[in-house]
């Protein structure tokens, strides 16, 4: 059993590809049995949050203006995810945004990653939707505050637990872990 998952979710300012900045982050360290550590904060992105994103997430420029900047919490994020497999729903997005944030402060960031969208499609191929909220509802779980980092990270954790229970030998899960060395 893996004992090194960092289930995470980020919300961003929106905007042009690779120019998004984090506004909300939640990281749950899961040892395969329980959450053993947690990090969560709003982040001042030092740029305007797109109006569409403000409506979607409820995160406004006013809400984050007194929050720490990414560089102020980067050590916490770097340390809590060290030697962990980053797990996210659509991990390519979350991983890319975090890596870009680290790159903007001249820190190289490489972690293995695992996508719960990919796993869900393989393990539950006949579902109509693989959006996080819809997947959770399929299993009787309500995501109480979608498009907020902590609620989505908790939902992703619950989904990961379901996926692990369906793949007890971890064959599918192990096969989908990406190294991200060249990303």
User: What value does the CA radius of gyration of the chain take, rounded to a whole number of Å?
Assistant: 16
Give 41-76 as a DSSP string.
EE---SSPPPHHHHHHH---HHHHTTSPPHHHHHHH
CA separation for the pair 110, 73 (Å, rounded): 17
CA separation for the pair 59, 123 (Å, rounded): 34
Per-residue pLDDT of the chain (183 residues; tens, 9 = 90+): 456 999 999 999 999 999 999 999 999 999 989 999 999 999 999 999 999 999 999 999 999 999 999 999 999 999 999 999 999 999 999 999 999 999 999 999 999 999 999 999 999 999 999 999 999 999 999 999 999 999 999 999 999 999 999 998 989 999 999 998 765
Is residue 113 a contact partner of residue 180, using CB atoms and an 8 Å limit?
A: yes
pTM: 0.96
CA separation for the pair 149, 166 (Å, rounded): 25
């Amino acid at each position: 059993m893996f004992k090194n998952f960092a289930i995470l979710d980020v919300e961003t300012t929106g905007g042009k590809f690779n120019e998004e900045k984090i506004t909300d982050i939640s990281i749950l360290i899961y040892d395969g049995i329980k959450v053993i550590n947690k990090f969560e904060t709003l982040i001042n992105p030092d740029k305007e949050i797109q109006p569409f994103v403000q409506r979607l997430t409820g995160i406004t420029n006013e809400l984050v203006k007194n929050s720490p900047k990414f560089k102020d919490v980067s050590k916490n994020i770097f340390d809590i995810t060290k030697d962990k497999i980053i797990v996210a729903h659509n991990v390519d997005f979350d991983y890319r945004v975090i890596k870009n944030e680290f790159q903007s402060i001249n820190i190289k960031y490489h972690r293995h990653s695992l996508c719960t969208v990919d796993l869900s499609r393989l393990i539950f191929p006949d579902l109509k939707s693989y959006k996080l909220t819809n997947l959770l509802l399929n299993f009787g779980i309500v995501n109480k505050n979608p498009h907020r980092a902590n609620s989505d990270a908790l939902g992703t954790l619950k989904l990961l637990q379901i996926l692990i229970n369906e793949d007890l030998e971890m064959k599918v899960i192990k096969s989908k872990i990406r190294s991200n060395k060249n990303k």
